[in-house]
């Protein structure tokens, strides 16, 4: 790409020319969030993708999110900036292995976190996100046996708050499972008035310390509505951009991981750049293509989730 190009201007031109909408997750880099038409958590992004009347959906997130958009709105072209932007959590649950696991527990219903492939969605009874998992799990009778996949941390958290004993698939997010208890404890001592907030993909010992646990949208709302002026934030650092924009007088401190880095970025989310957004819009590739049988099977449990979350 010509380095003299003003990418903001070019992307805005392409948006109009192609009747495109840019949907971005909170973990995207600040420039991408600033040019997006909608920024949200996984539930908000799915709802937005379903209702858009744009001709092209530019999905600035990871593959399973763009795939979900295509499942919900198949007549639209769904382009992604980088086809390699995957998800460790989604990868931890391959459909053939999961199918076997499911067959071993025929009396269980399958509740799957949206961070999974279409193949896993097609094997599920209902999909959840971190913002509606509790309500959806609660909608089943207390004695209903449930398999929860693929995130063992979110599953354990939902087990705790609902008093259930769901069977958990052994998957985890590479970003949320490396927060350091030791560093966070130190930070809390240094900032005694700060609220410590965490995403439910974090491990149990981290969630135990949290003043608030929520999805990315939930965390952002909490920082806007809570009167505290300092927050230690245990999730991917991209969310800090909207927190700082919404509350410029408050201080946001990213919770450190245990790998020596100061903050915690998702290597998949951060594959996307403004330049790649421009290129995928201009050339309309790479785009999501789906087998129709798989799409319909994966859509059923997502529709059920959207119906409950209306
Ligand atoms: P939410 O934005 O739905 O909280 O999900 C977080 C996440 O890890 C997405 O990959
Ligand atoms: Fe997947 Fe974790 Fe990255 Fe979200 S933050 S895309 S769950 S690896």
3-class SS string, 37-58: CEEECHHHHHHHHHHCCCCEEE
- For ligand 1, the distance from its centroid to the CA atom of residue 42, given in whole angstroms, is 6
Q: How many CB atoms lie within 10 A of CB 253?
A: 18
Provide the domain count of the chain: 3
The answer to whether residue 242 is domain-embedded is yes
How do the pLDDT tens digits run along the chain, 310 residues long?
889 999 999 999 999 999 999 999 999 999 999 999 999 999 999 999 999 999 999 999 999 999 999 999 999 999 999 999 999 999 999 999 999 999 999 999 999 999 999 999 999 999 999 999 999 999 999 999 999 999 999 999 999 999 999 999 999 999 999 999 999 999 999 999 999 999 999 999 999 999 999 999 999 999 999 999 999 999 999 999 999 999 999 999 999 998 888 779 999 999 999 999 999 999 999 999 999 999 999 999 999 999 999 8
* Residue 269 confidence (pLDDT): 98
Q: For 77, which DSSP code?
A: E
Q: Is 176 flagged in the annotation as binding?
A: no
Q: Which domain holds residue 115?
A: 89-173+297-308
The answer to whether residue 180 is domain-embedded is yes
Strands laid side by side in the 167-168 sheet? 126-128, 109-113, 146-149, 167-168
The answer to whether residue 248 is domain-embedded is yes
The answer to whether residue 96 is domain-embedded is yes
The answer to whether residue 260 is domain-embedded is no
- For ligand 2, the distance from its centroid to the CA atom of residue 87, given in whole angstroms, is 5
- For ligand 2, the distance from its centroid to the CA atom of residue 173, given in whole angstroms, is 6
- Residues 99, 75, single domain; the answer is no
Are 65 and 28 a contacting pair, CB within 8 Å?
A: no
- Residues 169, 188, single domain; the answer is no
- Residues 80, 96, single domain; the answer is no
Dihedral sign (CA 297, 175, 161, 97): positive
36 lines ligand 2 (CB under 6 A): no
Helices 42-51, 63-72: axis angle to 10 degrees equals 40
**Cα separation of 306 and 172, whole Å?**
24
Nearest to 186 by CA among 176, 172, 200, 196: 196
Q: For 131, which DSSP code?
A: T
65 lines ligand 2 (CB under 6 A): no
**Cα separation of 79 and 49, whole Å?**
12
* Residue 261 confidence (pLDDT): 81
The answer to whether residue 1 is domain-embedded is no
* Residue 263 confidence (pLDDT): 73
Q: Is 263 flagged in the annotation as binding?
A: no
Read off the pTM: 0.96
* Residue 37 confidence (pLDDT): 98
**257 three-state secondary structure:** strand
41 lines ligand 1 (CB under 6 A): yes
Ligand nearest to the CA of 41: 1
User: Which ipTM was obtained for this model?
Assistant: 0.98
Q: Is 130 flagged in the annotation as binding?
A: yes
- Residues 36, 93, single domain; the answer is no
116 lines ligand 2 (CB under 6 A): no
3-class SS string, 217-254: HHHHHHHHHCCCCEEEEECCCCHHHHHHHHCCCCEEEE
* Residue 288 confidence (pLDDT): 98
199 lines ligand 2 (CB under 6 A): no
- Residues 93, 169, single domain; the answer is yes
Q: What is the residue with the minimal CA distance to atom 1 of ligand 1?
A: 41
- For ligand 1, the distance from its centroid to the CA atom of residue 43, given in whole angstroms, is 9
- Residues 220, 232, single domain; the answer is yes
* Residue 147 confidence (pLDDT): 98
Looking at the CA of residue 215, tell me the nearest atom of ligand 1: 4
Q: Is 200 flagged in the annotation as binding?
A: yes
The answer to whether residue 68 is domain-embedded is yes
The answer to whether residue 60 is domain-embedded is yes
Q: What is the residue with the minimal CA distance to atom 9 of ligand 1?
A: 42
42 lines ligand 1 (CB under 6 A): yes
- Residues 93, 162, single domain; the answer is yes
CATH of residue 119's domain is 3.40.50.10800
**308 three-state secondary structure:** helix
- Residues 168, 94, single domain; the answer is yes
User: For the chain, how big is the Rg over CA atoms in Å?
Assistant: 19
- Residues 135, 275, single domain; the answer is no
Nearest to 206 by CA among 185, 221, 189: 185
- For ligand 1, the distance from its centroid to the CA atom of residue 40, given in whole angstroms, is 9
- Residues 166, 180, single domain; the answer is no
Q: What is the residue with the minimal CA distance to atom 1 of ligand 2?
A: 87
- For ligand 1, the distance from its centroid to the CA atom of residue 41, given in whole angstroms, is 6
Q: What is the DSSP string of 214-226?
A: --HHHHHHHHHHS
- For ligand 1, the distance from its centroid to the CA atom of residue 130, given in whole angstroms, is 7
* Residue 216 confidence (pLDDT): 98
- Residues 63, 109, single domain; the answer is no
- Residues 65, 42, single domain; the answer is yes
């Amino acid at each position: 790409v010509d380095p003299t190009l003003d990418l903001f201007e070019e992307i805005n031109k392409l948006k109009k020319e192609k009747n495109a909408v840019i949907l971005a997750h909170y973990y995207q880099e600040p420039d991408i969030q600033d040019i997006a038409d909608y920024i949200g958590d996984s539930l908000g992004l799915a709802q937005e993708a379903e209702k858009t009347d744009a001709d092209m959906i530019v999905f600035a997130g990871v593959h399973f999110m763009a795939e979900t958009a295509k499942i919900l709105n198949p007549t639209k072209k769904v382009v992604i900036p980088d086809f390699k932007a995957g998800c460790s959590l989604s990868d931890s649950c391959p459909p053939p292995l999961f199918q076997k696991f499911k067959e071993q527990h025929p009396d269980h219903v399958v509740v799957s976190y949206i961070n999974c492939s279409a193949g896993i969605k097609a094997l599920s009874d209902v999909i959840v996100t971190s913002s509606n998992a509790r309500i959806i799990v609660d909608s089943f009778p207390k004695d209903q046996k449930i398999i929860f996949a693929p995130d063992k941390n979110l599953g354990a958290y939902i087990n705790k708050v609902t008093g259930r004993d769901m069977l958990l698939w052994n998957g985890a997010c590479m970003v949320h499972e490396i927060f350091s208890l030791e560093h966070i404890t130190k930070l809390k001592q240094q900032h005694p008035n700060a609220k410590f907030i965490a995403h439910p993909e974090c491990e149990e010992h981290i969630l135990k310390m949290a003043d608030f646990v929520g999805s990315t949208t939930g965390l952002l709302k909490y920082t806007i509505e809570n009167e505290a002026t300092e927050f230690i934030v245990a999730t991917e650092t991209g969310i800090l951009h909207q927190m700082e924009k919404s509350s410029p007088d408050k201080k946001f401190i990213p919770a450190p991981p245990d790998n020596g880095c100061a903050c915690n970025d998702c290597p998949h989310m951060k594959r996307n750049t403004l330049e790649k957004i421009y290129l995928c819009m201009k050339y309309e590739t790479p785009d999501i293509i789906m087998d129709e049988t798989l799409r319909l099977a994966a859509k059923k449990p997502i529709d059920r989730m959207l119906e409950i979350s209306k």
